[in-house]
Structure 1
Amino acid sequence: MTTDRRRFLKGAGLAAAAAGLPFPAPALDLPGLCGRYEWLAGDHHTHSQYSYDAMYRIDQIAAGGRAHGANWIVFTDHGHAEHEKVSVEPTEADFAAARRKYPDLLLWHGLEWNVPGAEHATVFFQAGDRQAAKLREFERTFDWRLTNSEASSLANEALALRGLRWLAEQERTRQIHAPVVVINHPLRNGRVAPHELRAYRDTAPGIVIGMEGAPGAQADGFPKPLGNGGARGGYINNPGANSWPGYPAEAYRTHGGWDWATAKVGGLWDSLLAEGKPWWVTSNSDSHYNRGDTLVRPDVPGDWYDTHGKFPDPVDTGVPQLLAPYADFYPGEFSRTYVGVTRRSLEGVLEGLRAGRIWAAHGGLVQDLAVGVHSGGSAATLGGRLRVRRGSDVTIVVSARLADRPNGGGSVPRLARLDVIAGPVTGPAADPDTTTAPGTRVVRSFEPRWAPGRQVVFRHTFRNVREPFYLRVRGSNGDAEPTPDVVGQANPFEDLWLYANPIFADIC
């Protein structure tokens, strides 16, 4: 154990002991420990021909996701004046047709909200036959493209919070059901300040569940024949007039495909978790134009969308498209967000998302993952809280089923390491723009013996726990720490990571 790790354990009131070998299977009831959930893969961020910058029919997104193993999909076309004016009801009609065509898929009609004073967020809920009307009402009242509220300012930040309170009030009065908001590509442009993330969470707890830990558009980093490659997730930017000035230059690049806010141990995500409050991470496709697809959007005049609120159906050329703007994957093709559900239904997924029973992975790094924590007679899994008697031991158990089939990159990914990360829960941040959690550390790393399809199980025990803390798990196919992706030279299949959401240990 390194000096830094000992310092964390001492500072958090913990002493650690861990088994360096796989946990003996006969001694462990994994379903009992980790919960008997069905884990459904899905995507909360996709775009169709009703977005000003995309091309797919709704049923094509659904079919593509279904073919790549997605069980649930949210359609989130961009807020836009013409979209609000003419697109919402036609989208709802196409969405309903896709539900009938693919009854085995769990589908939502949502919106990508242009958040006043910030950037983008997924918004979705259930409202029955009033779905289109409620989405339009929200878009018309709170989207920055329709309210002239894009600039970073206190007034625009306040409008964003009013939008969140609207969702909460609509739920309270049963106008809509189970709204969910996820902040999309949070640091792509550095426009969402830490205090805004905290304000969103605290204004609408249970509705604003977290952020994209990894953005979509992961294929944008592929080297291009003409040397004009982009960056994974479109993270190719620099600070601008509306960027929060406290972010370092490295925050504007992905790290192993993941947002710096997630990838940096002891960074922004950990600073939120150190408050002891829920803040979950996800992954998605952000599908606009999917790499390798043979479909293309017909040539139309530049003002076509502003006139019609929809692009013509794409046509099939029979030729795989590899150059810009084909920077995305289909839902489930590369990025997957797994949600633990008690029932295979819309309600089940919503409940699992809100509860934080979520882990996300790129490129099929593992087939499945289970994480459980136990102390005495109590246990908890992802997103949960464990009640621990002061002075007791706490054990985390991590199980992964290794990949046994080629991914979209043509090879079977090899899980090289699993890390257990832990940090003290210190309460609300004195400075709402805090971006660090100095007490958070990688406390244990495991290197599984690789064999296709093999299940590996590891454990780590914290002894004599005196103070509250949280634990989370990540894994990769290579590096010990994620490194910044090189613009134009980042094949996403070469650098794969998974992240699981935290479990909190509360002292009683």
Structure 2
Amino acid sequence: MSEVARRRFLQGAGVLGVAGALGTGTASATTRYQWLSGDHHAHTQYSYDGMYTVEQQIRGALRHGTDWLVITDHGHASHEAHSVEATAADLLHARRKFPQLLLWHGMEWNVPGAEHATLFFEDCRDEAGVLRDFERQFDWRLNGAEASSPANEKKALDAIRFLQTKIRNGTMKSALVFVNHPMRNGRVAPHELRALRDLAPDIVVGMEAAPGAQGDGDPLRGPGGHRGGYSNSPGSNSYAPYPPEAYRTYGGFDWMTAKVGGVWDSLLAEGLGWWITSNSDSHFNSRDTIVRVPEPGGQFDLTGKHLDPVDSGPPQVSPPYVDFFPGEFSRTVVGATRRTRGAVMEGLRAGRAWVSHGGLVDDLRFDVYASGGTRTMGGRLRVRRGSDVSVLVKARLATRPNSAGFIPRLRRLDLIKGAVTGRSSSETLATPHVKVERSYEPRWHYAVFTHTFRNVREPFYLRLRGTDGNRGAFEPQADTPGAANPWEDLWCYTNPIFVEVR
């Protein structure tokens, strides 16, 4: 864009007044970080329902620009008995072979009294031993603590205390837990989210905003599929107050995130740092040519590992090939101070991240600034009552075809504002004090927007979402079973920035 055209664009968008902030004035908080794309939820042949070798999963991730990856095979009796050391050995080899990828050995934890969560560590001594010990004691597939009950919910809290003890005694530097696909079965209640977060806000830090299995609703795969695998209705272990519509995805995103004023906003309204991610949950990837080979009966139960799959030649499109490789469709982009595993974990813990589907945007920067300084996603800006607070958004739109072969177009960005009203009931599902404050329509490859809140009097938070608008509406719509091609309904979201007024 020429400088003349750029200035006209800024003026038309009402942002000429921040031109100084884009140059020699207030520096963007986002420029302090390396923005690294990754995935904390992917499976291998060491999951009972997985297929890929560790190296196949890594090669797929690298093809799609992944900077960091957590291998998270399912907790399972055979996994605990046979798979942990074998996975550790494969990952040790992979770290040497692919030094460009930041790689973790984590697990997908079957949370007592709930469903699934990602768990991974930083600088852990005897990582495999700690993972196995944790799995044996606290995974409901091994200890029978699946049912929703106060006793099992306490078991989940005990698991977090186990991690806290390991951190205090120096076994590991830190740990992170993210709740996976929270509304797929409706088994994680609002009070459980709050209890886990309150116990360990430096460990249990957020949830998947969007599940994997994004190709499940694509009509190419036959009728009846549900995007994200969200095909369920309330069951005996579900939280009864969740409405029926909560068990569906909206533009591929979980109801907790997609509903303005819903569960996510109710947590943010309490001033809680509760962050979102988006991940592949890769098991069998759409259009891949790799397939399982015939196995002896009881192969996984006896060995904790499926046989190495092979390349069959033709692309696979029917179920269970409904996932994507890490980075192929879903991205979680984290602001890290260095290109290290510890720095990525610190960025995730701080909420310094945004998520996107289908390559909708190449880059997204979101800062809030006032006389008190500048903050980016996950930050808290402290200002005096009566101050002016400004928002600066920079979006670099896609210029290259995505994995589906087309260049997506970001048609609208929404700036969402919510009031911070303080702690409420642990069962709170919604807050009324949230609205779309302003919307922007990007028209060039590099778009810059701003908005200023004058004379602020009360605390609030801000977050962004964006869409391709392909469904004719700028609010997320419920995905239609068997008719939800994920590439035709793309969204992006940022984590919030809090403004604290004193």
TM-score (norm 1): 0.94
| 2:85 paired with 1:85 | no
In structure 1, distance between residues paired with 2:340 and 2:253: 29
The alpha carbon displacement at 1:29 in A equals 3.2
- Write the letter of the residue equivalent to 1:345: T
Report how far residue 26 of structure 1 moved: 4.0
8 Å Cα contact 2:267-2:274 kept in structure 1: yes
Q: Within 2, Cα distance between the matches of 1:342 and 1:494?
A: 35
Report the equivalent of 2:263. 268
Letter in 2 for 1:350: M
What residue in structure 2 maps to residue 12 of structure 1? none
> For the structure 1 residues 301 and 486, does the alpha-carbon distance in structure 2 shift closer, same or farther, using more than 3 Å as the test?
farther
Q: Secondary structure at the match of 1:74?
A: strand
CA distance, structure 1, for counterparts of residue 238 and residue 214 of structure 2:
23
Q: Distance in 2 between matches of 1:282 and 1:350?
A: 13
2:213 counterpart of 1:253 = no
Poorly superposed stretches of 4+, deviation over 6 Å: none
Q: 1:51 aligns with which of 47, 50, 63?
A: 47
Unaligned runs of at least 5 residues, structure 1: 1-17
Contact 1:20 1:446 in 2 (8 A): no
Asked if structure 1 preserves the Cα contact closer than 8 Å seen for 2:372 and 2:382, the reply is no
2:4 aligns with none
Within the alignment, does 1:496 sit opposite 2:490 as a pair? yes
Q: Residues 154-165 of structure 1: matches in 2 within 5 Å?
A: 154-165=150-161
Assess if the C-alpha contact under 8 Å between 1:369 and 1:399 holds in 2.
yes
On the 8 A contact 1:222/1:229 being kept in 2, the answer is no
Q: Which amino acid aligns with 1:182?
A: F
Aligned to 2:280: 285
2:22 aligns with one of 12, 22, 29: 29
1:22-80 alpha-carbon deviations (Å, 9 max, x no partner): 63474223782223211000000000000000100001111110110000000000000
Q: Does structure 2 conserve the Cα–Cα contact (< 8 Å) formed by 1:475 and 1:498?
A: yes
Pairwise CA distance, 1:166: 1.0
Match of 2:307 in 1: 312
Letter in 1 for 2:194: R
Amino acid at match of 2:57: I
Q: How does 1:207-356 map to 2 (within 5 A)?
A: 207-224=203-220, 227-356=222-351
Instruction: Check whether the contact 2:124–2:173 (CA below 8 A) recurs between aligned residues.
Output: no
- Offset at 1:481? 0.3
Q: Describe the superposition over 1:304-348 as per-residue Cα deviations: whole angstroms up to 9, x where unpaired.
A: 211111000001111100000001000000000000011111111
Matches within 5 A, 1:377-392: 377-392=372-387
Take 1:311 and 1:266, find their aligned partners in 2: how far apart are those partners? 44
Matches for 1:139-154 after TM superposition, within 5 Å: 139-154=135-150
Per the alignment, in what secondary structure is the counterpart of residue 375 of structure 2? Answer: strand
**Does 457-466 or 263-272 show the bigger shift?**
457-466
Structure 2: distance between partners of 1:377 and 1:182? 32
Sort the Cα spacing of 1:302 and 1:222 in 2 relative to 1 into closer, same or farther, 3 A: farther
Tell me if the contact between 1:22 and 1:457 (Cα under 8 Å) persists in the aligned partners. Answer: no
Q: CA deviation at 1:174?
A: 1.2
Bigger RCO of structures 1 and 2 (CA < 8 A, at least 6 apart): 1
User: Paired residue for 1:121, among 112, 117, 122?
Assistant: 117
Task: Tell me the alpha carbon deviations over residues 338-391 of structure 1, each in whole angstroms, 9 at most, x when there is no partner.
Answer: 000111111110110111101000000011000000111411100000001101
Matching of residue 469 in structure 1 with residue 460 in structure 2 = yes
Does residue 429 of structure 2 align to residue 435 of structure 1?
Answer: yes
Q: Say which is worse superposed, 126-135 or 399-408, in terms of deviation.
A: 126-135
Counterparts of 1:118 and 1:61, CA distance in 2: 28
Compute the RMSD of aligned alpha carbons: 1.4
User: How many angstroms apart in 2 are the aligned matches of 1:22 and 1:124?
Assistant: 44
Deviation string 1:149-183 (CA, Å, 9 cap, x unpaired) is 00000000000000011111211211112200000
3-state secondary structure, aligned to 1:135: helix
How much does 1:410 deviate?
Answer: 1.6
Letter in 1 for 2:68: W
Q: How far off is 1:302 after superposition?
A: 4.8
Does the 8 Å contact 2:111/2:156 carry over to 1?
yes
Partners of 1:269 and 1:294 in 2: CA distance: 38
SS at structure 1 position matched to 2:245: helix
Change (3 A) 1:316 1:281: same
Paired with 2:298 and 2:332, the residues of 1 have a C-alpha distance of 36
Cα pair 2:125 2:172 within 8 Å, conserved: no
Q: Hey, what's the Cα distance between the residues in 1 that align with 2:75 and 2:101?
A: 25
Q: Secondary structure at the match of 1:77?
A: strand
Aligned to 1:180: 176
How far the C-alpha of 1:411 sits from its partner, in A, is 1.1
Q: Which residue of 2 aligns with 1:371?
A: 366
Partner of 1:410: 405
In structure 1, which of residues 460, 469, 486 is the aligned counterpart of residue 480 of structure 2? 486
Unaligned runs of 5+ in 2: 1-9
Where do residues 69-80 of structure 1 align in structure 2 (5 Å cutoff)?
69-80=65-76
SS of residue paired to 1:44: strand
Indicate the larger mover: 364-373 or 120-129.
120-129
Query: Which residue, 437, 446, 455 being the options, matches 1:455?
Result: 446
Question: How far apart, in 2, do the equivalents of 1:92 and 1:81 lie?
Answer: 17
Match of 1:190 in 2: 186
Partner of 1:61: 57
